[in-house]
Structure 1
Amino acid sequence: MKLYFSPGACSQCPHIVLHEAGIAHEAVQVNLKTHQLADGSDYYAINPRGYVPLLELDSGERLTENAALVQYIADLAPAKGLLPPAGSLARTRVQEWLAFVGSELHKGFGPLFNPAVPDEVKALFKKKLVDRFTWVDKQLAGKSYLMGESFSVADAYLFVITGWTGRMGVDIAGLENLAGHQARMKARPAVQAALQMEQQAAA
């Protein structure tokens, strides 16, 4: 199994989940500026859309999109408890969180990464993101993770996207529940393993 990733990108989410699941994998770095791999080959030949993550299975099948990847990975290691059983309300709640993080938080950062977007427009998107993160902070009140005391794949997605706030100038200072969530996530061995590998790749 191969995970195509770029350090610090949203592909960090399935990277964390692979470590949480204890699934052996090869991490293949993609240069998102040149869309090339380390050997100089064209990433567009692998993923015509050009973005990460992409998970290539041993069968040769290729999967994309964070929400889909992390659920697939979690189902490969059911004993790890990364995702509630199929058909349960709890699983739908995790899927609800994955959809929220993907559409309301992840996509909200898009204009901030675009140098062509005027600063006054970026300011509007930053305010909307702060509003969304403030709502998440309230949902985390009295809980260690999004689903309560148990880690789920949605926590990995939230952790990665929240980690973008500092470098993109989205001020979430004072959101103590969210800060606590980030700290608990950083303390998880699987998260540390994924971060260390990506830091080494970026060096």
Structure 2
Amino acid sequence: MKLYFAPETCSFSPHIVLHELGLPFDLVKVNNQTKQTSDGKDFLTINPKGYVAALQLANGEVLTEGVAILQYLADLKPEAGLAPINGSWERVRLQEMLNFITSEIHAGLSPLFNAEIPEEVKLLFKTKLNKRFDQIENTLQRRDYLLGDAFTVADAYLFTVLQWTRFFAIDLNGWPAIAAYLERIRLRPSVQAALQREAAFH
């Protein structure tokens, strides 16, 4: 498999999961401005949507969209427990959480990167995000991870997008359970391995 990534993007979550699963893969960096890859290709020929993550399989198929990639990877090695079994009620809960992260947290933070959006509009986004953080805080006050006592692909995704808050002066220490959760995940060997492997491209 080949994972196409760009630094500080949502592609970090499947990168974490690949290390969690111990699966072999090649890592290819994408320049988000030029759309050129570190192995000399035009990324748009790999993913015409133009954004990471993209996972190229051994058979040449390319899978895009983070929540699809995360579940696909988890199902390659179900014994690792990174996603409940397909068809189970717990799997539906995972999908519910992944959709919440993508539509409320990921999509809520993304506009803050746009320099053309006025500050007063960004403040509206931040106010809505604060309410979503309150919901996550309430969940993490009751359990160590989003779905219970075990780390899942949802945690890899939430950890990844919450890293962006530091770019926008959002202090997550105001949500102590979230702050402790992020530190717990940061120390996982898979996260450290992914950070080191991406840093090798700088």
Q: Residue 71 of structure 1 corresponds to which residue in structure 2?
A: 71
TM-score, normalised by the number of residues in structure 2:
0.96
1:98-140 Cα deviation digits (max 9, x unpaired): 0000000001112111111111111111111122112111111
Amino-acid identity (%): 50
Contact 2:63 2:69 in 1 (8 A): yes
Supply the distance in 2 between the matched residues of 1:47 and 1:127 (Cα, whole angstroms): 34
The number of residues matched between the two structures is 202
**CA distance in structure 2 between the partners assigned to 1:168 and 1:200 by the alignment:** 26
The answer to whether the aligner puts 1:178 opposite 2:199 as a matched pair is no
Deviations 1:7-45 (A, max 9, x none): 111000101011111110001000001111124432111
Amino acid at match of 1:167: F
Residues 149-158 or 134-143, more deviating: 134-143
Q: Quick one: distance in 2 between partners of 1:200 and 1:132?
A: 34
Show the 5 A alignment for 1:110-121: 110-121=110-121
Which amino acid in 1 is paired with 2:162? T
Report 1:158-173 matches (<5 A). 158-173=158-173
Question: Could you tell me which residue of structure 2 aligns to residue 89 of structure 1?
Answer: 89
Between stretches 35-44 and 161-170, larger displacement belongs to: 35-44
Runs of 4+ in structure 1 over 3 Å off: none
Of stretches 191-200 and 59-68 in structure 1, the one that deviates more from structure 2 is 191-200
Matches of 1:8 and 1:28, distance apart in 2: 14
| Structure-2 residue corresponding to 1:13 | 13
**TM, length-normalised to structure 1:** 0.96
Q: What amino acid sits opposite 1:34 in the alignment?
A: T
Q: Give 1:94's aligned amino acid.
A: L
Gaps of 5+ in 2: none
Query: Cα RMSD (Å) of the superposition?
Result: 1.1
SS at the partner of 1:104?
Answer: helix
Report which stretch shifted further, 79-88 or 49-58: 79-88
CA distance in structure 2 between the partners assigned to 1:9 and 1:199 by the alignment: 14
**What is the CA distance between 1:170 and its match in structure 2?**
2.4
